[in-house]
Structure formats: structure tokens, C-alpha cells
Amino acid sequence: MRILVADHISEEALEKLRELGEVVFRPEISREELLNEIRKAEVLVVRSRTKVDREVISKGERLKVIARPGVGLDNIDLEAAKERGIKVLNTPGAVTEAVAELVFAHLLSLLRRIPEANESLRKGEWIKKDLIGEELYGKTMGIVGFGRIGSRVAEISKAFGMRVLVFDPYVKAEGFEQVDSLDELVRKSDFVSIHVPLTEETKGLFKEETLKNMKEGAVLINTSRGGVVEQKALFKFLKSGRIRACLDVFEREPPGEDALFSIGTEKLSVSPHIGASTIESQRRAGLELVDRIKEAMGLG
């Protein structure tokens, strides 16, 4: 069995894959090289960086499995894979803790003004009186999407002493207060955390009309997919000071020199799609993926 690994995965997972067959490890593979290498592969392992579209899938004459350590599958043409009878695997449970913790890392950093405190102190300044922050306790956390990550964020929010509101038309949020519409959630929440996949239904879900209904000074947190939020509309509201945001994902990745980054750290906290980037998460995702590949290939 030939396994093409087109992105970085943990060394432990790589060793486990080598026990299953021949592994071609090409973490920085170009599209042209991918189109060539995929012809000989039975298993393709990718992360979000690698786009597996219809053209790539059509070249995979021997391809049986496309495996993605992580949650999102929006970089894979699922319809094309289905037509070819190719199994598409992911590891949604492996990244739950890492992404949920990043939500609060961003939020606390923004509210307690950690970047400003850090930078000023390194400049030799002592501006303690200027760095008045905000607490989580007693605030309302609105969660959009009550899957593994959304439900974990709800649990952590509750532990911080926050009121939790949930909007998810497909899942019952046992033990938490559920609202009937997205607009109701954004009107009532101090913080809004997004945990939905990028689909035709969720693309541009947070458009100008939705953002303008958020509370004055509320914080939008997106660790799911950039396309769920209309970035131009978000920029407009951030620039006006109407709302704030914590973003780990963007409409285009890497985003380059986007106007969004002209917004100061007191209004915007950003990171380069590192939600699943912890040692523990990468290990879990890699090992779970190996098990799923073994099962899919009848080796379990």
C-alpha cells in the first residue's frame, strides 16, 4: 500500500503509517507534484493547506482513502470523492480541547489587554493605570454550533461563571439555554463564538445585518472557518469600534497584508489558524487517523 502524506503530521503517526505500507512524505508538495504523485497512491493524507479538488481526485487512479487529521473537510471535493467511491476520513474529536482552549486564550488576551501590557513593559513603560480590562464572570457567551467544540466551549464558559446561550437548529443543547434564531443570540450575547463547518448554508452566515445586531462592544470569536464571516463587513464594524473580534481563521489563508490588520490589538486578536496546533492535539489526531485508515483499508 502506498500512502502519500502531503502535509505535516506527528512523527509517531508517520511511524505507524510506515508499518502499514510505503509512505511518501512530502509536506511541502506543490500542486503540480501532487497531481503526479497521486497517480500511485492508495491513501492520501492532507491538512487544510492542500486542496483536493476534482482534478486531483480524477488523477488518483488507485486512490481509496483521503484522510484529514482534524475537523474541516472544506478543502476536499466530497462529491467528487463520493462519485469515485473514495472514503474521506477526519478526526473531529482529536482537536476539541485545543480549539476550545484557544477561544479563551484569545478572549482573555483581548479583554485583559495582554498584548498592550506585554509590549509597553518591554519598552520600559509602566502603564498599569491605563490597562483596565474586563472579566468573563457574569457575562453572556453565545455559541453558534453545538458540536464537540461548541459544547466544550459551553462547559468552560459555565465554569467561568458565565450565562451560556446556544443557537443550533439541528442539535439540542442539553443543560444549556437554547435560542430560536441567530439574531436573538447575537442581540443577547457579550461574546459570540462560532463553531460550524463551512457549507453552502453557513457561508457568509455572519453578514452585515447580523453583525449590526451585536451588542455595542461585543466580541465575535471565530475559530471555525473564515468563510462563515463576511470579512469586509466585519472590518467595517471593527473600524468603527462598534464590536471587537478574535480570529484564528480568515476568508483567504494566508490573508497577506489585509486591511483587517490595521485594527489595533485592543479591538482585534488574531492568530494564523493554530486552533489544532498543540503537541497533544497533533498526537491524538495522527494516531486516530492511523486507526481510521487501517479500518477503512480492512487492516484493523
Written as tens digits, the pLDDT of the chain (300 aa) is: 999 999 999 999 999 999 999 999 999 999 999 999 999 999 999 998 899 999 999 999 999 999 999 888 999 999 999 999 999 999 989 999 999 999 999 999 999 999 999 999 999 999 999 999 999 999 999 999 999 999 999 999 999 999 999 999 999 999 999 999 999 999 999 999 999 999 999 999 999 999 999 999 999 999 999 999 999 999 999 999 999 999 999 999 999 999 999 999 999 999 999 999 999 999 999 999 999 999 999 996
Say yes or no: 158 and 241 in one domain: yes
Q: What is the pLDDT of residues 250-287, one digit of tens each?
A: 999 999 999 999 999 999 999 999 999 999 999 999 99
Say yes or no: 191 and 288 in one domain: no
Say yes or no: 145 and 80 in one domain: no
Residue 262 in domain: yes
pTM of the model: 0.91
Say yes or no: 220 and 288 in one domain: no
Say yes or no: 81 and 143 in one domain: no
Say yes or no: 82 and 143 in one domain: no
Say yes or no: 232 and 204 in one domain: yes
Supply the CATH number for residue 245's domain: 3.40.50.720
Residue 85 in domain: yes
**Res 92: pLDDT:** 87
Residue 104 in domain: no
**Res 300: pLDDT:** 67
Say yes or no: 155 and 245 in one domain: yes
Say yes or no: 85 and 140 in one domain: no
- Residue 292 sits in which domain range? 2-92+279-296
Residue 123 in domain: no
Say yes or no: 244 and 290 in one domain: no
- The residues that bridge with 194 in the sheet, in sequence order, are 144, 222
**Res 186: pLDDT:** 99
Residue 100 in domain: no
**Res 21: pLDDT:** 96
The residues assigned a catalytic role are: 225, 253, 273
Say yes or no: 152 and 80 in one domain: no
Residue 274 in domain: no
Say yes or no: 152 and 64 in one domain: no
Residue 224 in domain: yes
Query: How many structural domains are present in the chain?
Result: 2
**Res 208: pLDDT:** 98
